Chains A and B, each alone.
Chain A
Amino acid sequence: MTTDLSDYVASRVAILDRVRQILRDTMKLKIEPEAIDPDAPLFGTGLGMDSVDAVELVVQLDAVFGLELANSPLASTKIRTVNTIVDAIMEVRGES
Protein backbone atom coordinates (compact mmCIF):
# COMPACT_ATOMS: atom_id res chain seq x y z
CA MET A 1 0.00 0.00 0.00
CA THR A 2 1.35 3.42 -0.88
CA THR A 3 1.98 5.93 1.89
CA ASP A 4 -0.83 8.27 0.91
CA LEU A 5 -3.30 5.38 0.68
CA SER A 6 -2.23 3.91 4.01
CA ASP A 7 -2.37 7.36 5.62
CA TYR A 8 -5.85 7.93 4.23
CA VAL A 9 -7.09 4.54 5.44
CA ALA A 10 -5.53 5.03 8.88
CA SER A 11 -7.17 8.43 9.25
CA ARG A 12 -10.50 7.08 8.06
CA VAL A 13 -10.39 4.07 10.38
CA ALA A 14 -9.60 6.27 13.39
CA ILE A 15 -12.66 8.44 12.70
CA LEU A 16 -14.78 5.38 11.89
CA ASP A 17 -13.92 3.76 15.23
CA ARG A 18 -14.75 6.93 17.15
CA VAL A 19 -18.08 7.39 15.36
CA ARG A 20 -18.99 3.78 16.06
CA GLN A 21 -18.21 4.36 19.72
CA ILE A 22 -20.39 7.47 19.79
CA LEU A 23 -23.25 5.56 18.19
CA ARG A 24 -22.85 2.72 20.63
CA ASP A 25 -22.96 5.11 23.57
CA THR A 26 -25.75 7.29 22.15
CA MET A 27 -28.01 4.34 21.48
CA LYS A 28 -26.77 2.27 24.40
CA LEU A 29 -26.18 -0.62 22.04
CA LYS A 30 -25.02 -3.84 23.62
CA ILE A 31 -22.90 -4.89 20.64
CA GLU A 32 -19.25 -4.53 19.80
CA PRO A 33 -18.46 -1.39 17.77
CA GLU A 34 -17.19 -3.58 14.90
CA ALA A 35 -20.69 -5.03 14.59
CA ILE A 36 -21.90 -1.63 13.39
CA ASP A 37 -21.34 -1.92 9.65
CA PRO A 38 -20.07 1.30 8.03
CA ASP A 39 -22.83 1.30 5.41
CA ALA A 40 -25.68 0.14 7.67
CA PRO A 41 -28.60 2.58 7.64
CA LEU A 42 -28.89 4.49 10.90
CA PHE A 43 -32.56 5.40 10.64
CA GLY A 44 -35.69 3.40 9.80
CA THR A 45 -34.17 0.03 9.06
CA GLY A 46 -30.62 -0.70 10.14
CA LEU A 47 -29.84 0.56 13.61
CA GLY A 48 -33.38 1.90 13.94
CA MET A 49 -32.47 5.33 15.29
CA ASP A 50 -35.23 7.89 15.77
CA SER A 51 -35.38 11.68 15.83
CA VAL A 52 -34.38 11.84 19.50
CA ASP A 53 -31.30 9.73 18.79
CA ALA A 54 -30.53 12.03 15.84
CA VAL A 55 -30.48 15.11 18.04
CA GLU A 56 -28.11 13.46 20.50
CA LEU A 57 -25.90 12.21 17.68
CA VAL A 58 -25.67 15.67 16.09
CA VAL A 59 -24.71 17.17 19.46
CA GLN A 60 -22.01 14.54 19.96
CA LEU A 61 -20.58 14.94 16.46
CA ASP A 62 -20.32 18.68 17.00
CA ALA A 63 -18.68 18.25 20.42
CA VAL A 64 -16.17 15.61 19.34
CA PHE A 65 -15.42 16.54 15.72
CA GLY A 66 -16.69 20.10 15.33
CA LEU A 67 -19.14 18.87 12.73
CA GLU A 68 -21.90 21.49 12.72
CA LEU A 69 -25.09 19.95 11.40
CA ALA A 70 -27.73 21.40 13.73
CA ASN A 71 -28.95 24.07 11.30
CA SER A 72 -27.76 22.51 8.07
CA PRO A 73 -30.43 21.80 5.43
CA LEU A 74 -28.26 18.88 4.31
CA ALA A 75 -27.97 17.33 7.78
CA SER A 76 -30.25 14.44 6.83
CA THR A 77 -27.89 13.51 4.00
CA LYS A 78 -24.81 13.54 6.24
CA ILE A 79 -25.99 11.14 8.94
CA ARG A 80 -27.50 8.33 6.91
CA THR A 81 -24.75 5.80 7.73
CA VAL A 82 -21.49 5.70 9.65
CA ASN A 83 -19.65 6.12 6.37
CA THR A 84 -21.57 9.26 5.39
CA ILE A 85 -20.74 10.72 8.81
CA VAL A 86 -17.06 9.87 8.34
CA ASP A 87 -17.19 11.47 4.86
CA ALA A 88 -18.59 14.68 6.37
CA ILE A 89 -15.95 14.78 9.10
CA MET A 90 -13.12 14.19 6.62
CA GLU A 91 -14.54 16.90 4.38
CA VAL A 92 -14.56 19.38 7.27
CA ARG A 93 -10.97 18.43 8.05
CA GLY A 94 -9.94 18.72 4.44
CA GLU A 95 -8.97 15.04 4.27
CA SER A 96 -11.49 13.85 1.68
Chain B
Amino acid sequence: MSLEAEYRSVRHGAALSRMDHVGLLRLVGEDSIEAVDAVCSGDLWVRDGRMLQTLILDEQGQPIADVYVCPDDDACFLMVEGMTTEDFSARLGRHANPELEIELEDLRHEHELLSLHGPYAWEVLSKWLTPDVIGLPYLSFYRFDRGICFRAGKTGEYGYDLVIRSEDATDARRELLELVNSFGGSEVSLETLDLCALENGFFSVRHGSIEGLTPLELQLQWRISTRKRFPGIEAIEERRARGIRRRLTHFVAREGLNAGDALHGPDARVGEVMTAVFSPGVGGLIGTALLDISVAHPGIDQFFAPNRDSATRIQTVSSPLLVNRSLFVDPHRHTYSTREDATYPPLWQGSLP
Protein backbone atom coordinates (compact mmCIF):
# COMPACT_ATOMS: atom_id res chain seq x y z
CA MET B 1 0.00 0.00 0.00
CA SER B 2 1.49 3.35 -1.04
CA LEU B 3 1.71 6.27 1.33
CA GLU B 4 -0.70 8.18 -0.92
CA ALA B 5 -3.30 5.40 -0.64
CA GLU B 6 -2.85 5.22 3.12
CA TYR B 7 -3.12 8.97 3.30
CA ARG B 8 -6.39 8.91 1.36
CA SER B 9 -7.78 6.37 3.84
CA VAL B 10 -7.11 8.72 6.75
CA ARG B 11 -8.27 11.91 5.06
CA HIS B 12 -11.28 10.66 3.11
CA GLY B 13 -12.52 7.36 4.57
CA ALA B 14 -11.34 5.25 7.46
CA ALA B 15 -8.01 3.71 8.41
CA LEU B 16 -6.79 1.12 10.89
CA SER B 17 -3.38 1.19 12.51
CA ARG B 18 -1.44 -0.87 15.00
CA MET B 19 -0.08 1.39 17.71
CA ASP B 20 2.93 -0.69 18.68
CA HIS B 21 4.94 2.48 19.30
CA VAL B 22 2.70 3.56 22.20
CA GLY B 23 3.36 2.43 25.76
CA LEU B 24 0.24 1.35 27.60
CA LEU B 25 0.37 1.59 31.36
CA ARG B 26 -2.03 1.52 34.29
CA LEU B 27 -1.13 3.07 37.57
CA VAL B 28 -3.21 1.56 40.37
CA GLY B 29 -3.90 3.13 43.74
CA GLU B 30 -5.74 6.13 45.11
CA ASP B 31 -2.52 8.16 44.85
CA SER B 32 -2.06 7.38 41.17
CA ILE B 33 -2.88 10.87 39.86
CA GLU B 34 -0.61 12.48 42.46
CA ALA B 35 2.21 10.22 41.29
CA VAL B 36 1.68 11.07 37.61
CA ASP B 37 1.44 14.73 38.53
CA ALA B 38 4.95 14.55 39.95
CA VAL B 39 6.52 13.51 36.63
CA CYS B 40 4.37 15.37 34.08
CA SER B 41 4.58 19.02 33.12
CA GLY B 42 0.89 19.93 32.88
CA ASP B 43 -1.85 20.59 35.38
CA LEU B 44 -3.74 17.31 35.64
CA TRP B 45 -7.22 18.74 35.94
CA VAL B 46 -9.09 15.84 34.45
CA ARG B 47 -12.15 13.90 35.60
CA ASP B 48 -12.62 10.14 35.67
CA GLY B 49 -13.43 8.84 32.19
CA ARG B 50 -11.73 11.79 30.46
CA MET B 51 -8.26 12.17 28.94
CA LEU B 52 -5.65 14.90 29.13
CA GLN B 53 -2.49 15.43 27.10
CA THR B 54 0.69 16.30 28.89
CA LEU B 55 4.46 15.97 28.52
CA ILE B 56 7.41 14.55 30.33
CA LEU B 57 10.46 16.80 30.11
CA ASP B 58 14.12 16.13 30.75
CA GLU B 59 16.16 18.32 33.07
CA GLN B 60 16.86 20.74 30.19
CA GLY B 61 13.13 21.22 29.67
CA GLN B 62 13.09 19.26 26.41
CA PRO B 63 10.02 17.05 25.82
CA ILE B 64 10.97 13.38 25.93
CA ALA B 65 7.52 11.81 26.10
CA ASP B 66 4.01 12.67 24.91
CA VAL B 67 1.45 11.33 27.37
CA TYR B 68 -2.30 10.86 27.65
CA VAL B 69 -3.44 10.72 31.28
CA CYS B 70 -6.78 8.97 31.76
CA PRO B 71 -8.09 8.71 35.36
CA ASP B 72 -10.32 5.73 36.11
CA ASP B 73 -11.55 5.58 39.72
CA ASP B 74 -8.59 4.60 41.90
CA ALA B 75 -6.36 4.07 38.91
CA CYS B 76 -5.06 5.89 35.89
CA PHE B 77 -4.43 4.72 32.34
CA LEU B 78 -1.40 6.20 30.59
CA MET B 79 -0.61 6.14 26.88
CA VAL B 80 3.03 7.10 26.46
CA GLU B 81 4.97 7.89 23.29
CA GLY B 82 8.71 8.36 23.47
CA MET B 83 9.53 6.55 26.71
CA THR B 84 9.73 2.89 27.71
CA THR B 85 7.81 1.46 30.64
CA GLU B 86 11.11 0.95 32.44
CA ASP B 87 12.10 4.59 31.96
CA PHE B 88 8.67 5.78 33.09
CA SER B 89 8.90 3.58 36.17
CA ALA B 90 12.36 4.99 36.91
CA ARG B 91 10.97 8.53 36.58
CA LEU B 92 8.22 7.74 39.05
CA GLY B 93 10.79 6.35 41.46
CA ARG B 94 12.91 9.50 41.13
CA HIS B 95 10.22 12.20 41.30
CA ALA B 96 7.09 10.82 43.01
CA ASN B 97 6.73 10.75 46.77
CA PRO B 98 7.96 7.28 47.82
CA GLU B 99 5.19 7.05 50.40
CA LEU B 100 2.48 7.10 47.75
CA GLU B 101 0.64 3.83 47.41
CA ILE B 102 0.81 2.97 43.75
CA GLU B 103 1.46 -0.01 41.55
CA LEU B 104 2.48 0.23 37.90
CA GLU B 105 1.09 -2.31 35.43
CA ASP B 106 2.33 -2.70 31.87
CA LEU B 107 -0.87 -3.46 29.96
CA ARG B 108 1.16 -4.40 26.90
CA HIS B 109 1.71 -7.85 28.41
CA GLU B 110 -1.96 -8.73 27.97
CA HIS B 111 -3.35 -6.14 25.54
CA GLU B 112 -2.84 -4.70 22.09
CA LEU B 113 -3.55 -1.18 20.94
CA LEU B 114 -5.30 -0.58 17.62
CA SER B 115 -6.52 2.73 16.32
CA LEU B 116 -9.08 4.01 13.84
CA HIS B 117 -8.77 7.31 12.02
CA GLY B 118 -10.71 9.17 9.38
CA PRO B 119 -13.86 11.18 8.75
CA TYR B 120 -15.86 7.93 8.85
CA ALA B 121 -13.91 6.17 11.64
CA TRP B 122 -16.93 6.71 13.89
CA GLU B 123 -19.09 4.76 11.45
CA VAL B 124 -16.67 1.83 11.36
CA LEU B 125 -16.64 1.73 15.13
CA SER B 126 -20.39 2.08 15.44
CA LYS B 127 -20.81 -1.00 13.24
CA TRP B 128 -18.13 -2.98 15.05
CA LEU B 129 -18.93 -1.97 18.61
CA THR B 130 -22.14 -0.02 19.18
CA PRO B 131 -23.81 3.09 17.69
CA ASP B 132 -23.39 4.64 21.14
CA VAL B 133 -19.75 5.48 20.28
CA ILE B 134 -21.10 8.34 18.17
CA GLY B 135 -21.86 10.20 21.39
CA LEU B 136 -18.46 9.59 22.96
CA PRO B 137 -16.94 13.05 23.58
CA TYR B 138 -13.45 13.87 22.32
CA LEU B 139 -10.84 12.93 24.93
CA SER B 140 -12.94 10.47 26.85
CA PHE B 141 -13.08 6.69 27.13
CA TYR B 142 -15.31 3.82 28.09
CA ARG B 143 -15.02 0.07 28.62
CA PHE B 144 -16.57 -2.59 26.45
CA ASP B 145 -16.52 -6.38 26.68
CA ARG B 146 -13.21 -6.84 24.84
CA GLY B 147 -11.36 -3.78 26.08
CA ILE B 148 -11.43 0.00 26.32
CA CYS B 149 -12.24 2.60 23.68
CA PHE B 150 -10.47 5.96 23.88
CA ARG B 151 -11.66 8.80 21.66
CA ALA B 152 -8.48 10.68 20.80
CA GLY B 153 -6.34 10.72 17.68
CA LYS B 154 -3.65 13.02 16.34
CA THR B 155 -4.64 13.37 12.70
CA GLY B 156 -7.33 16.05 12.84
CA GLU B 157 -9.94 13.45 11.85
CA TYR B 158 -12.19 11.32 14.04
CA GLY B 159 -9.88 9.05 16.00
CA TYR B 160 -10.27 6.12 18.38
CA ASP B 161 -7.66 4.10 20.25
CA LEU B 162 -8.80 0.60 21.16
CA VAL B 163 -7.11 -1.30 23.96
CA ILE B 164 -8.02 -4.91 23.29
CA ARG B 165 -7.21 -8.03 25.27
CA SER B 166 -4.52 -10.09 23.55
CA GLU B 167 -6.75 -13.16 23.17
CA ASP B 168 -9.30 -11.04 21.26
CA ALA B 169 -6.87 -8.87 19.32
CA THR B 170 -6.40 -11.06 16.24
CA ASP B 171 -10.13 -11.37 15.62
CA ALA B 172 -10.73 -7.70 16.41
CA ARG B 173 -8.05 -6.60 13.97
CA ARG B 174 -9.43 -8.84 11.20
CA GLU B 175 -13.00 -7.64 11.78
CA LEU B 176 -11.99 -3.98 11.88
CA LEU B 177 -9.84 -4.30 8.79
CA GLU B 178 -12.74 -5.87 6.86
CA LEU B 179 -14.93 -2.96 7.88
CA VAL B 180 -12.27 -0.39 7.06
CA ASN B 181 -11.79 -1.96 3.63
CA SER B 182 -15.53 -1.66 3.01
CA PHE B 183 -15.11 2.06 3.66
CA GLY B 184 -12.46 2.27 0.97
CA GLY B 185 -9.76 2.36 3.59
CA SER B 186 -6.75 0.32 4.61
CA GLU B 187 -4.31 -0.39 7.35
CA VAL B 188 -1.91 2.55 7.58
CA SER B 189 1.65 2.94 8.73
CA LEU B 190 3.12 5.09 11.48
CA GLU B 191 4.72 7.18 8.72
CA THR B 192 1.28 8.14 7.42
CA LEU B 193 -0.04 8.92 10.89
CA ASP B 194 3.02 11.10 11.57
CA LEU B 195 2.47 12.98 8.31
CA CYS B 196 -1.16 13.61 9.22
CA ALA B 197 -0.16 14.74 12.71
CA LEU B 198 2.32 17.20 11.21
CA GLU B 199 -0.31 18.58 8.83
CA ASN B 200 -2.57 19.26 11.79
CA GLY B 201 0.10 20.68 14.06
CA PHE B 202 0.16 17.87 16.60
CA PHE B 203 3.41 17.52 18.48
CA SER B 204 5.26 14.28 17.90
CA VAL B 205 8.46 13.04 19.46
CA ARG B 206 9.27 11.71 15.96
CA HIS B 207 8.96 15.01 14.04
CA GLY B 208 12.66 15.65 13.58
CA SER B 209 15.21 16.71 16.12
CA ILE B 210 14.04 18.94 18.95
CA GLU B 211 17.43 18.93 20.61
CA GLY B 212 17.71 21.87 22.97
CA LEU B 213 14.11 22.98 22.51
CA THR B 214 11.51 23.39 25.22
CA PRO B 215 7.71 23.82 25.14
CA LEU B 216 8.37 27.57 24.87
CA GLU B 217 9.85 27.25 21.38
CA LEU B 218 7.63 24.32 20.40
CA GLN B 219 4.36 26.22 21.02
CA LEU B 220 3.46 23.77 23.77
CA GLN B 221 3.11 26.21 26.65
CA TRP B 222 -0.45 24.97 27.14
CA ARG B 223 1.05 21.70 28.31
CA ILE B 224 3.15 23.18 31.11
CA SER B 225 1.87 24.25 34.47
CA THR B 226 2.32 27.74 35.87
CA ARG B 227 1.33 26.51 39.33
CA LYS B 228 3.49 23.53 40.21
CA ARG B 229 7.10 22.37 40.15
CA PHE B 230 7.92 19.55 37.75
CA PRO B 231 11.05 18.04 36.21
CA GLY B 232 12.52 20.54 33.74
CA ILE B 233 10.83 23.61 35.25
CA GLU B 234 14.13 25.28 36.20
CA ALA B 235 15.34 25.22 32.60
CA ILE B 236 12.02 26.62 31.39
CA GLU B 237 12.02 29.40 33.98
CA GLU B 238 15.55 30.33 32.99
CA ARG B 239 14.67 30.42 29.31
CA ARG B 240 11.46 32.35 29.94
CA ALA B 241 13.41 34.94 31.93
CA ARG B 242 15.79 35.38 28.98
CA GLY B 243 12.87 35.73 26.61
CA ILE B 244 11.70 33.33 23.91
CA ARG B 245 14.08 33.88 21.00
CA ARG B 246 12.86 31.31 18.47
CA ARG B 247 9.54 29.65 17.70
CA LEU B 248 8.52 26.63 15.69
CA THR B 249 6.54 27.74 12.64
CA HIS B 250 4.90 25.68 9.92
CA PHE B 251 5.66 26.19 6.26
CA VAL B 252 4.96 24.84 2.79
CA ALA B 253 7.33 24.68 -0.18
CA ARG B 254 7.45 23.12 -3.60
CA GLU B 255 10.47 20.85 -3.18
CA GLY B 256 14.14 20.65 -2.34
CA LEU B 257 14.26 21.17 1.42
CA ASN B 258 15.66 18.99 4.15
CA ALA B 259 15.90 19.07 7.91
CA GLY B 260 18.85 21.24 8.94
CA ASP B 261 18.73 23.55 5.90
CA ALA B 262 19.38 27.18 6.80
CA LEU B 263 16.65 29.68 6.04
CA HIS B 264 17.36 33.26 5.07
CA GLY B 265 15.23 36.37 4.88
CA PRO B 266 15.79 39.38 2.65
CA ASP B 267 18.86 40.50 4.61
CA ALA B 268 19.78 37.91 7.23
CA ARG B 269 19.52 34.32 8.31
CA VAL B 270 16.20 33.75 10.07
CA GLY B 271 16.29 30.12 11.13
CA GLU B 272 16.45 26.54 9.98
CA VAL B 273 14.25 23.70 8.76
CA MET B 274 13.38 21.20 11.49
CA THR B 275 11.40 18.75 9.40
CA ALA B 276 10.13 18.61 5.81
CA VAL B 277 8.04 15.89 4.15
CA PHE B 278 5.86 15.59 1.08
CA SER B 279 2.15 16.02 1.72
CA PRO B 280 -0.28 14.55 -0.82
CA GLY B 281 -2.97 16.88 0.53
CA VAL B 282 -0.93 20.00 -0.07
CA GLY B 283 0.78 18.70 -3.19
CA GLY B 284 4.17 19.85 -1.97
CA LEU B 285 6.44 19.88 1.04
CA ILE B 286 5.16 20.72 4.47
CA GLY B 287 7.32 21.15 7.50
CA THR B 288 8.37 23.09 10.52
CA ALA B 289 11.09 25.69 10.82
CA LEU B 290 12.66 27.16 13.90
CA LEU B 291 12.54 30.89 13.18
CA ASP B 292 13.72 34.00 14.98
CA ILE B 293 10.82 35.11 17.15
CA SER B 294 10.67 38.47 15.35
CA VAL B 295 9.61 36.77 12.13
CA ALA B 296 8.05 33.54 13.40
CA HIS B 297 4.64 34.24 11.89
CA PRO B 298 2.47 32.71 9.18
CA GLY B 299 1.83 34.46 5.88
CA ILE B 300 5.45 35.26 4.95
CA ASP B 301 6.82 34.21 1.56
CA GLN B 302 10.18 36.00 1.68
CA PHE B 303 12.25 33.25 3.32
CA PHE B 304 14.37 30.84 1.33
CA ALA B 305 16.94 28.11 1.63
CA PRO B 306 19.96 28.97 -0.51
CA ASN B 307 21.05 25.97 -2.56
CA ARG B 308 24.08 25.58 -4.80
CA ASP B 309 22.37 26.74 -7.98
CA SER B 310 19.17 28.34 -6.83
CA ALA B 311 17.05 29.11 -3.79
CA THR B 312 14.04 27.25 -2.46
CA ARG B 313 11.36 29.56 -1.19
CA ILE B 314 9.02 28.72 1.63
CA GLN B 315 5.67 30.13 2.62
CA THR B 316 5.01 30.20 6.36
CA VAL B 317 1.49 29.07 7.25
CA SER B 318 -0.83 28.68 10.21
CA SER B 319 -1.42 25.32 11.78
CA PRO B 320 -3.53 23.23 11.19
CA LEU B 321 -2.65 23.35 7.51
CA LEU B 322 -5.72 21.44 6.36
CA VAL B 323 -9.46 21.97 6.51
CA ASN B 324 -10.21 18.46 7.73
CA ARG B 325 -13.17 16.59 6.30
CA SER B 326 -14.11 15.52 9.84
CA LEU B 327 -15.04 19.14 10.63
CA PHE B 328 -17.94 18.77 8.22
CA VAL B 329 -18.96 15.12 8.62
CA ASP B 330 -21.76 14.91 11.16
CA PRO B 331 -22.46 11.34 12.40
CA HIS B 332 -26.10 12.28 12.87
CA ARG B 333 -26.54 13.40 9.24
CA HIS B 334 -23.87 11.81 7.09
CA THR B 335 -22.65 8.33 6.21
CA TYR B 336 -19.84 7.00 4.08
CA SER B 337 -22.33 5.61 1.57
CA THR B 338 -23.92 9.04 1.03
CA ARG B 339 -20.63 10.95 1.02
CA GLU B 340 -21.04 11.96 -2.63
CA ASP B 341 -24.26 13.81 -1.76
CA ALA B 342 -22.42 16.39 0.32
CA THR B 343 -19.92 18.97 -0.80
CA TYR B 344 -16.83 19.66 1.25
CA PRO B 345 -14.27 22.43 1.06
CA PRO B 346 -10.86 21.45 -0.31
CA LEU B 347 -8.44 20.02 2.25
CA TRP B 348 -5.77 22.58 1.38
CA GLN B 349 -6.83 26.13 0.67
CA GLY B 350 -3.47 27.80 0.36
CA SER B 351 -0.94 28.03 -2.42
CA LEU B 352 2.66 26.97 -2.78
CA PRO B 353 5.36 29.65 -3.13
Contacts and interface: CB of A to CB of B under 8 A. Distances in A.
B182 interface: no
Contact of A39 (B53, B265, B319): B319
Interface string A62-96: 00000000000010110011011011001000001
A41 B138 CA distance: 14
Q: What secondary structure prevails in chain A residues at the interface with B?
A: loop
B139 A96 contact: no
A50 to B, nearest CB: 10
Nearest to B217: A37
Nearest to B298: A83
Contacts of B244: 34
A9 interface: yes
Nearest to A83: B318
Contact of B222 (A46, A76, A84, A90): A46
A81 B302 contact: no
A77 B325 CA distance: 11
A16 B294 CA distance: 13
A44 B318 contact: no
Nearest to B350: A87
Interface in A51-68: none
A95 B73 CA distance: 52
Nearest to A37: B219
A80 B320 contact: yes
A46 B53 CA distance: 9
A5 B294 CA distance: 11
B139 A38 contact: no
Given A1-B266, A9-B294, A13-B297, A39 B323 contact: no
Nearest to A47: B222
Q: What secondary structure prevails in chain B residues at the interface with A?
A: loop
Contact of B299 (A39, A44, A87): A87
Contact of A44 (B139, B249, B265, B302): B139
A26 B220 CA distance: 21
B139 A39 contact: no
A82 B221 CA distance: 14
Max chain A C-beta neighbours (<10 A), residue from B250, B266, B298? B298
Nearest to B138: A44
A87 B318 CA distance: 8
A85 B221 CA distance: 19
Interface residues of A, number: 33
Contacts of A90: 299
A2 B345 CA distance: 35
A44 B138 CA distance: 7
A44 to B, nearest CB: 5
Nearest to A4: B302
A2 B266 contact: yes
B221 A37 contact: yes
B267 A77 contact: no
Interface in B273-323: 294-295, 297-300, 302, 318-320, 323
Contacts of B345: 74, 77
A30 B180 CA distance: 44
B134 interface: no
A4 to B, nearest CB: 8
Given A44-B138, A90-B299, 6 more contacts: A1-B266, A2-B302, A5-B300, A38-B219, A74-B323, A87-B298
12 contacts: A1-B265, A1-B295, A5-B302, A9-B294, A35-B226, A41-B222, A76-B327, A77-B327, A83-B319, A84-B318, A84-B320, A86-B318
Interface of A: 1-2, 5, 8-9, 12-13, 16, 30-31, 34-41, 44-47, 74, 76-77, 80-81, 83-84, 86-87, 90, 96
